[in-house]
Every structure is written in C-alpha cells, then in structure tokens.
Chains A and B, each alone.
Chain A
Amino acid sequence: MKIQFTLNGRQEVLHISSDVPLLQLLTEYSGISSIRPGCDRGRCGNCVVLVNDLPLLSCLVPAFDIRGRQIVTFERFSQTRDFTEIQKGFTQADALPCSFCFASKSMLTHGIISGNTSPQPEEILQAFSLNACTCLEPSRIVQGVQQAGTLRGRRRRHGRRK
C-alpha cells in the first residue's frame, strides 16, 4: 500500500503493508533511532511520537492510519523551543529522566502542557501511568512537568503581550 505522510517536516512516500505498526515503519523503514521498541502492545509507553501534535503510542498506530498526517519524532522535537522549555523545566526541578525514556517523557510532557500549563498532579500521573520506566520518582515527574508548564505559560503570556 502507498502511504504518504509527513515525517519531521519532510514528505515521505512508502510502499508498505497497510497494517505495519508505525513503530516498525519508523525504526525499520525511515531510519528513526530515538524510539525504543519495547512491548509492541501499548504497555511500556516508550514509543511515544507526536501525530498531528498529539502524543500517541506508535506501536498502536497502523501504517494506513497515518496517511496525510504529520508525524514528529524526538529527532525533530528535540530541536524545538517547546523541547528546550521542557528540558529546562525538568532540570530546574532536579528531575533528569534516563536516556532510555527521555524522548517519550518529554513528548508526553508536551502533550500535557500544550492543553493546560498548570496541570494537577493526578493529571500528570495519569498521563505517565503507561510509561513503564522507573528512573524518576513520581513526585519528581510532577515537579518537572509543572515547572515546564510554568515556563510554557510564561512564554504564551509574553507572546500575547507582543
């Protein structure tokens, strides 16, 4: 099946089986190395990508479902200002995720603070409940996300004033 989509701002066309999971499509056919294949069944939460700016588990998205959609992986996301804020927020909260889950955790954080820059702890923990890596204590994750949210909120307010 011909699959046309945008990957990290670039148009891609692949001829591939329609039901190949996006995870496999990205790692085997598009040379993406930031995704960590784990359980392949939506349980470990380490394969998060942004699909039309929404964080999704790439192992649960079939190839036919990404036609015409915009996929952003950590390779691209890590070059954005949104990421810099998240990184800064986590550093300020003294919460440093390990290199294995950093990509997924930062994109999950982006998903939370895009909608609400002052998320409540329950909302944060719910969003991270499928992220199986235990490199950070839950309280640290909450602090990191809230700090990142504060920075995002500040930027939005400044942006509006200008």
Chain B
Amino acid sequence: MAGENRSPTVFTPSSMSELLELRRSKPQATLWAGGTGLMSRYYPYPYPLSRDIISLKHVPEMTRINRTERYLDIGAAATLERVLTVGHHILPPVLAKALRSVGPPTITNQATIGGNLCIPDLRLNLAAVLSLFNVQLELKGDLKHRLQTRWIPLIRLYRRDGKLMLQGTEVLTRVRIYFEEGNFQLFQQIGFPYQHPEEAVLFTVFANHGQDSVVDYRAAATFPSVGVFRDRDVESSVTSKALPLNHQEIRQTSRLLRRTLQEYSTRVSPIQLARTVRAFERSLILLNTKSVSR
C-alpha cells in the first residue's frame, strides 16, 4: 500500500509566523499535533485525505504552558500529561479527572489539548468540562486577507450541530483557563466516546453550595457525534434551590432536562438521552448527600 501512495509532505514550522504563512499557502493541509486521534482512526496510514501535513510540535508558542495567579495558559499542542503535571494542585479536580479520562499515559504523553478540542467530527472528553469554566481560546489566522488574532469563549468554537466554527485558515493556538472554586465537581464518562460515539456521554457538573442551598450549578454534556450541550434553563432550575432537593424537585428538573435534550438535537440517541438524564439525577442525589454530610 505504501508504494501506491506518495509519501505525505510534512512541514515542520519552527515559529508562529512560519506556521501561519504555511497555513495560508496550504489551507488543505492537515494540522498535526499529537496525532493520536488521526492515527487511530485511519488505516493503513494516518490521513489519506490530505497529502500535506503541518506538524505543530516545533512551534514553541504552541507547546508552552504559563501559569499565573488567575489563569493557566496552555499552548494548543501541549500534551495532556504536561498539562496535568504543570497544573498539579491548581487544576480544578473535575478538569484533572477529565484529562485523565482521555487515556493512560501512553496516550496522554502524546495527545494534546488542541487535538482533543479540534477533531472535526468528534467532540471528546474536554469540550463539556471546559465549557463550564471561563475558558478563552486564542485563534490566529488569515481573516479577510489579514493575519489576525482573536479570543473567543470555548462555546463559540462549535456550531449548534457540533461542527467546528473556525474561520478561514484559523488555528487554535492557546487555551486560557481562569481558576474558579467549586465545592461540588463531578465528571462522568459513560461508554466509549472514541469507539462508540453514538452511545457515549461525557457528563460534567461544577457547582457551589452552602449548607441549605445551591448557590451556583452548571452542568454540560458532550455527545461525541453530536456536540456539546449546556442549557441555562436547566441550570437555573437547580440554582438557588434549597437543599436537600426532594424527590419531586429532582423528577421535575430531570423532566425539564429530557425535554430540552429532545429539542436540542434529534441526533441524540435514546441511549444517550437515558444516560444523560440518569447522570443528571445522580449528580443531584450526590449533591444532596454532600450537603447533608457537611
């Protein structure tokens, strides 16, 4: 097979300007960060759709991680293992759990944060959890024939149908995560997002509660083949409720979630719907338990 195909041309830019120039001159080239996603999906060779590959690993800005008092700045091609190491003790536990859920170190030593967010047709472990925080993404690229940099919140990276919303030849270059504290955090992976994207759900909650009430409740779910779901109405139906929530309140809010999910997309499969509602109910029961045990 190898002999039948021309070997892809690999470009390894060593600076951001070189990368952006290459991206402008070869808009069809595949951007290559860790490659775990591309290598495990296409056989026999990584990416038969494009004959040009731009490797991002040698651009220092793309792999740099900066830590300040207020936020963590992560180059999009930084490996997940490095994010876990540098962010040890400062990453919100729910985010650390989501990063670990991507795979064992044999994967996270290679997979990158940008890759996890930007696989064109799959939403993976980090999208939902990052959508709960104040996360800003730096995009650089050629907009209206000018090189531009813009910052967007994570949720604006995806269209409602889950597709990437990058414009022109834009590249995701940095992910900025502002620190926040939440006394109730939950991440749950149900099923296998990579192998069975139509069935898997990644559900996550970030909340703050006092002894008698929920102060702030945020929840999001990723349906790998559909997109990222977060609904303010569902969240506000829990926020400011008195704790512990009674059985009827839990049933009411989960009914609201079910309805909202059905309206969100017809591509959410029945099993994903059932799994999400169950995970949501479980999160409320755990929240009850935690508030009582404080």
Which segment, of B39-47, B166-174, B222-230, B275-283, faces chain A?
A: B39-47
Rounded to whole angstroms, the CA-CA distance of A130 and B10 in the bound complex is 29
B40 touches A42 (CB 8 A): yes
A19 touches B110 (CB 8 A): no
Residues of A107-130 whose CB lies within 8 A of B? 108, 111-112, 126-130
Q: Mark B90-112, 1 if CB is under 8 A from A, else 0.
A: 00000000001001111101100
Number of interface residues of A (CB under 8 A): 31
A residues near B39, Cβ cutoff 8 Å: 21, 41-42, 59-62
A residues near B104, Cβ cutoff 8 Å: 45, 108, 126-130
CB within 8 Å for A61 and B103 given contacts A19-B8, A56-B109, A56-B110: no
Rounded to whole angstroms, the CA-CA distance of A130 and B192 in the bound complex is 13
CB within 8 Å for A126 and B10 given contacts A48-B106, A59-B39, A111-B105: no
In the complex, which residue of chain A has the Cβ closest to the Cβ of B57?
Answer: A65
B residues near A111, Cβ cutoff 8 Å: 105-106, 109
B10 touches A1 (CB 8 A): yes
Separation in Å of the A82 CB from the closest CB of chain B? 16
Separation in Å of the B124 CB from the closest CB of chain A? 14
A57 touches B46 (CB 8 A): no
B106 touches A56 (CB 8 A): yes
Q: Mark A33-46, 1 if CB is under 8 A from B, else 0.
A: 00000001111010
Q: Mark A53-77, 1 if CB is under 8 A from B, else 0.
A: 0111101111011000000000000
A42 touches B36 (CB 8 A): yes
A residues near B106, Cβ cutoff 8 Å: 45, 48, 55-57, 108, 111, 127, 130
B105 touches A55 (CB 8 A): yes
B10 touches A41 (CB 8 A): no
Q: Check: A17 CB closer than 8 A to any chain B CB.
A: yes
A41 touches B40 (CB 8 A): yes
B53 touches A55 (CB 8 A): no
A-B contact count (CB 8 A): 89
A65 touches B55 (CB 8 A): yes
Q: Check: B25 CB closer than 8 A to any chain A CB.
A: no
Rounded to whole angstroms, the CA-CA distance of A43 and B109 in the bound complex is 15
Rounded to whole angstroms, the CA-CA distance of A14 and B47 in the bound complex is 21
B2 touches A127 (CB 8 A): no
B residues near A56, Cβ cutoff 8 Å: 106, 109-110
Residues of A62-109 whose CB lies within 8 A of B? 62, 64-65, 108
CB within 8 Å for A130 and B103 given contacts A19-B47, A64-B55: yes
Rounded to whole angstroms, the CA-CA distance of A17 and B4 in the bound complex is 11
B residues near A64, Cβ cutoff 8 Å: 10, 53, 55
B residues near A57, Cβ cutoff 8 Å: 106-107, 110
A residues near B36, Cβ cutoff 8 Å: 42, 60
A42 touches B107 (CB 8 A): yes
Rounded to whole angstroms, the CA-CA distance of A111 and B7 in the bound complex is 32
A residues near B41, Cβ cutoff 8 Å: 41
22 A-B pairs in the complex with CB atoms less than 8 angstroms apart: A17-B5, A17-B8, A18-B9, A18-B10, A40-B43, A41-B39, A41-B41, A42-B40, A43-B40, A48-B106, A55-B106, A57-B106, A60-B36, A61-B35, A62-B39, A64-B10, A65-B35, A65-B57, A111-B109, A130-B103, A130-B106, A130-B107
Per CB-CB distance, the 5 closest pairs between chain A and chain B, nearest first, are A17-B7, A42-B40, A60-B39, A64-B10, A19-B45
B residues near A, CB below 8 A? Answer: 2, 5, 7-10, 35-36, 39-41, 43-47, 53, 55, 57, 100, 103-107, 109-110, 195
